[in-house]
Amino acid sequence: MTDDTFYGSDFGALSAFDPEIAGVLTSELDRIRGGLQLIASENISSPEVLTALGSTLSNKYAEGYPGRRYYGGCSEVDKAENLAIERAKSLLGAEHANVQAHSGASANQAVYGAFLQPGEKILAMSLPHGGHLTHGTKVSFSGKWFDAVHYGVHPETEDVDYDEMERLAKEHRPKVICSGGSAIPRLLDFERIRAICDEVGAIMWVDAAHFIGLVAGKAIPSPVPLADVVTFTTHKVLRGPRSGALVCKEEHAKALDKAIFPMMQGGPQMHTIAAKAVNFKECATPEYQQYAADVIANSKVLADELRGRGIRPTTGGTDTHLSLLDLQGVGVTGVDAEARCDAAGITLNKNAIPNDPQKPSVASGIRVGTPCVTTQGMGTDEMVKIAELIHTAVTTGDADPEHAVSREVRAQVRELVTTFPAYPR
Contacts of 340 (CB under 8 A, 6+ apart): 332, 393, 394, 397, 398, 399, 406
71 in active site: no
Pair 270, 381 in one domain:
no
Q: Is residue 13 part of a domain?
A: no
Q: Residue 3's pLDDT is what? A: 41
Pair 70, 165 in one domain:
yes
Q: What are phi and psi of 218, to 5 degrees?
A: 60, 30
Contacts of 123 (CB under 8 A, 6+ apart): 148, 149, 150, 151, 165, 168, 169, 172, 174, 176, 177, 178, 202
Mean pLDDT score, 348-377: 97
Active-site residue identified among 61, 192, 281, 398: 61
CATH, residue 249: 3.40.640.10
Mark which of 233, 250, 284 sits at the end of a domain. Answer: 284
**For the purposes of burial, counting CB atoms within 10 Å of the CB of 245, is it exposed (0-12), middle (13-18) or buried (19 or more)?**
buried
Residue 185 has pLDDT above 60, yes or no: yes
**Pairing between strand 121-125 and 176-179?**
parallel
Tell me the per-residue pLDDT of 328-338, one tens digit each, with 9 for 90 and over.
999 999 999 99
Inter-CA distances, 67 with 76, 88, 89, 268, Å = 11, 19, 19, 14
Helices (H) and strands (E) in the chain, counts: 16, 15
Mark which of 268, 284, 300 sits at the end of a domain. Answer: 284
Q: Are 387 and 406 in contact (CB under 8 A)?
A: no
Pair 331, 248 in one domain:
no
61 in active site: yes
Q: Residue 2's pLDDT is what? A: 43
**Pairing between strand 349-351 and 365-369?**
antiparallel
CATH, residue 405: 3.90.1150.10
Q: Is residue 23 part of a domain?
A: no
- 172 annotated ligand-binding residue: no
- 287 annotated ligand-binding residue: no
Contacts of 16 (CB under 8 A, 6+ apart): none
Q: What are phi and psi of 203, to 5 degrees?
A: -70, 135
Q: Are 331 and 317 in contact (CB under 8 A)?
A: no
Tell me the per-residue pLDDT of 87-129, one tens digit each, with 9 for 90 and over.
999 999 999 999 999 999 999 999 999 999 999 999 999 999 9
Q: Residue 268's pLDDT is what? A: 98
Pair 279, 324 in one domain:
no
3-state secondary structure of 324: strand
Mark which of 284, 315, 341 sits at the end of a domain. Answer: 284
Q: Are 177 and 169 in contact (CB under 8 A)?
A: yes
- 133 annotated ligand-binding residue: yes
3-state secondary structure of 265: coil
Pair 299, 159 in one domain:
no
Active-site residue identified among 33, 192, 242, 385: 242
Q: Residue 11's pLDDT is what? A: 84
Tell me the per-residue pLDDT of 197-251, one tens digit each, with 9 for 90 and over.
999 999 999 999 999 999 999 999 999 999 999 999 999 999 999 999 999 999 9
Pair 99, 234 in one domain:
yes
Pair 276, 139 in one domain:
yes
380 in active site: no
Residue 193 has pLDDT above 60, yes or no: yes
Pair 335, 223 in one domain:
no
233 in active site: yes
Pair 297, 368 in one domain:
yes
Q: Mind giving me the DSSP string for 341-390?
A: HHHTTEE-EEE--TT-SS-TTT-SEEEEE-HHHHHTT--HHHHHHHHHHH
In whole angstroms, give the CA distance from residue 370 to residue 359.
26
Q: Is residue 40 part of a domain?
A: no
pLDDT band at 12; cut points 50, 70, 90: confident
Q: What's the structural domain count of the chain?
A: 2
Q: Is residue 164 part of a domain?
A: yes
Pair 268, 341 in one domain:
no
Tell me the per-residue pLDDT of 253-312, one tens digit each, with 9 for 90 and over.
999 999 999 999 999 999 999 999 999 999 999 999 999 999 999 999 999 999 999 999
Look up residue 396 and give its amino acid. T
Domain that holds residue 367: 291-419
Residue 391 has pLDDT above 60, yes or no: yes
pTM for this model (two decimals): 0.96
Q: Is residue 15 part of a domain?
A: no
Active-site residue identified among 134, 137, 231, 233: 233
Q: Centre a 10 Å sphere on the Cβ of residue 40 and count the other Cβ atoms it contains.
A: 26
pLDDT band at 4; cut points 50, 70, 90: very low
Q: Is residue 24 part of a domain?
A: no
Pair 253, 134 in one domain:
yes
315 in active site: no
Contacts of 215 (CB under 8 A, 6+ apart): 92, 208, 221, 222, 223, 224
- 116 annotated ligand-binding residue: no
Q: Is residue 130 part of a domain?
A: yes
288 in active site: no
Active-site residue identified among 69, 121, 175, 236: 236
Tell me the per-residue pLDDT of 40-83, one tens digit each, with 9 for 90 and over.
999 999 999 999 999 999 999 999 999 999 999 999 999 999 99
Look up residue 20 and give its amino acid. E
- 226 annotated ligand-binding residue: no
Residue 6 has pLDDT above 60, yes or no: no
Contacts of 228 (CB under 8 A, 6+ apart): 197, 203, 204, 205, 248, 249, 252
Pair 238, 123 in one domain:
yes
In whole angstroms, give the CA distance from residue 353 to residue 326.
7
Tell me the per-residue pLDDT of 374-387, one tens digit each, with 9 for 90 and over.
999 999 999 999 99
Q: Is residue 27 part of a domain?
A: no
Active-site residue identified among 48, 63, 95, 164: 63
Look up residue 398 and give its amino acid. D
